[in-house]
Amino acid sequence: MPEIRIHGRGGQGTVLAAKILAKALVEEGKYTMAIPAFGFERRGAPVVAFLRYEDHEIRAVTNIYSPNIIMCIDPSIATVVDIFEGISDHATLVQASKKPLDQIVRPEAIERVGLCDAVGIALDVFSKQITNTIMLGAFARTTGVVTLDSLKKGLSVTNFRDAGLEQNMIAIERGYNETTVYDLTKEAAA
């Protein structure tokens, strides 16, 4: 069963990103389970959310210990949390970062990487470092697990006001369009 762990900081919309992604996956006919985990409930503290999806009902209601996909919506969180703990083989990393691939620290288990300057986009779109919807677009581009249209439908059922909804639609599109994807298995073979 595909499992996703989303890392961020309080105030960036980590848990909301998991909810929107779950709604988008349901839109595509998948069964989903999104589980938030809160430590210190304050702005800037590390936050993690878990999501699993499948073509049939899901019975497991536990945290995710061996994720296939890591989505990190904050470029600095890896300095305080081991975002790769328990990562499964052949995994994917979707990382908010303006660094080039050769400066991204990652274990060998990572075979696909999507990099997006989500903070730069967020400052341009929101004038704040809220990167969740941007990174959802990056997730769609990197993994192909969900379409941009389904993400927009998942976003449209949230509680954003009209102006906020419009900004977040722009953010999802920019995240999708401005993500660079690297297939490390192909690069290793070359």
Residue 15 CA to residue 8 CA, distance in Å, equals 9
pTM of this structure: 0.91
Q: Domain-by-domain residue ranges, the chain?
A: 3-180
CATH numeric code, 3-180:
3.40.920.10
Question: How confident is the prediction along the chain (190 residues), in pLDDT tens digits per residue?
Answer: 889 999 998 888 888 899 999 999 999 999 998 887 765 566 777 889 999 999 888 887 777 889 999 999 999 998 889 999 999 999 999 999 999 999 999 999 999 999 999 999 999 999 998 999 999 999 999 999 999 999 998 887 676 666 688 899 999 999 999 999 999 987 655 4
Give the separation between CA 73 and CA 94, rounded to whole angstroms.
Answer: 8
